[in-house]
């Protein structure tokens, strides 16, 4: 991990319902290159909204987001170019049901990165091997378990060679016995130095893999620090109350 900032967020606000619901209230955060940042907090605290604002899947009401020194909230910026550098993995796998696993993985690299079919397929197969799913290349999503689909969703994002991976509760839709196989893939990515921002309820993962943990509540960052600081010696009462319930 370096001290080089890859994403910088300043004064981020997101309002819904004509301003009646303030999902984010002035969030400031920096994500450094090679860092794993895990965002925790109760449901409705703004974690997923924060994550989705990072690649403008949610358009901020106010504030500024800089990615690789470009202000991506500037309307003149072509956000699609920057989105290609940010892989996103959702709770639900968003795989195309009518396409094989291999086709799901090679579509975007061929279309957006202009890779040849051969090049895209070689990269996809190498990634499938990494997650022990090379034998499922010609299967359709309906033939896979939830854990397999989520591992495919992760390597599909990696086919685009992103600078950052964003994970929005990637294990919350999975059966408990499948959670481990997905978290293992994420741990390997972290070990390889991938910059990651992960919204999750998996406190064990946060404790083991994160460089930094951010605790959010009511649309604000209440506290942040190393996993040790947050889990062993939180300074804010709200953080203590939350951890007492979930640990």
What is the crossing angle of helices 146-158 and 176-191, to 10°?
20
Q: For 56, how many CA atoms within 13 A lie in the half-sphere containing its CB?
A: 20
Q: How far apart are CA 196 and CA 176, in angstroms?
A: 23
Whether residue 120 is predicted with pLDDT greater than 90 in this model: the reply is yes
User: Residue holding tokens 């049901």?
Assistant: 97
What element of type H or E holds 156? helix 146-158
Q: For residue range 135-188, what is the model confidence (pLDDT) as tens digits?
A: 999 999 999 999 999 999 999 999 999 999 999 999 998 988 899 999 999 999
Q: Supply the mean pLDDT for the chain.
A: 94
Per-residue tokens: 15: 């309002």
> Which pLDDT does position 52 carry in this prediction?
94
- What's the pTM value of the predicted model, to 2 decimals? 0.94
User: Residue holding tokens 């090049």?
Assistant: 119
Instruction: Report the candidate in 102, 132, 127, 130 with the shortest Cα–Cα distance to residue 117.
Output: 102
Cβ partners under 8 Å of residue 244, min gap 6: none
| Contact call for residues 16 and 23 (beta carbons, < 8 A) | yes
User: Residue holding tokens 């499938």?
Assistant: 128
């Amino acid at each position: 991990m370096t001290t080089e900032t890859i994403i910088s967020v300043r004064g981020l606000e997101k309002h819904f319902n004509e301003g009646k619901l303030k999902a984010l209230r002035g969030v400031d955060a920096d994500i450094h290159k090679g860092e794993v940042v895990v965002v925790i907090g109760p449901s409705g605290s703004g974690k997923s909204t924060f994550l989705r604002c990072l690649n403008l899947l949610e358009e901020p009401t106010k504030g500024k987001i800089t990615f690789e020194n470009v202000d991506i909230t500037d309307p003149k910026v072509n956000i699609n170019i920057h989105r290609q550098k940010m892989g996103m993995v959702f709770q639900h796998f968003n795989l195309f049901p009518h396409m094989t696993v291999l086709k799901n993985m090679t579509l975007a690299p061929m279309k957006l990165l202009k890779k040849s079919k051969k090049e895209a397929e070689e990269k996809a197969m190498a990634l499938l091997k990494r997650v022990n799913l090379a034998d499922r290349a010609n299967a359709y999503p309906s033939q896979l378990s939830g854990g397999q689909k989520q591992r495919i969703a992760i390597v599909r994002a990696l086919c685009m060679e992103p600078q950052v991976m964003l994970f929005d509760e990637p294990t919350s839709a999975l059966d408990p016995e499948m959670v481990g196989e997905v978290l293992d893939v994420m741990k390997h990515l972290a070990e390889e130095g991938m910059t990651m921002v992960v919204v999750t309820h998996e406190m064990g993962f946060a404790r083991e893999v994160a460089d930094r943990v951010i605790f959010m509540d009511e649309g604000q960052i209440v506290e942040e620090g190393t996993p040790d600081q947050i889990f062993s010696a939180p300074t804010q009462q709200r953080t203590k109350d939350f951890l007492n319930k979930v640990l």
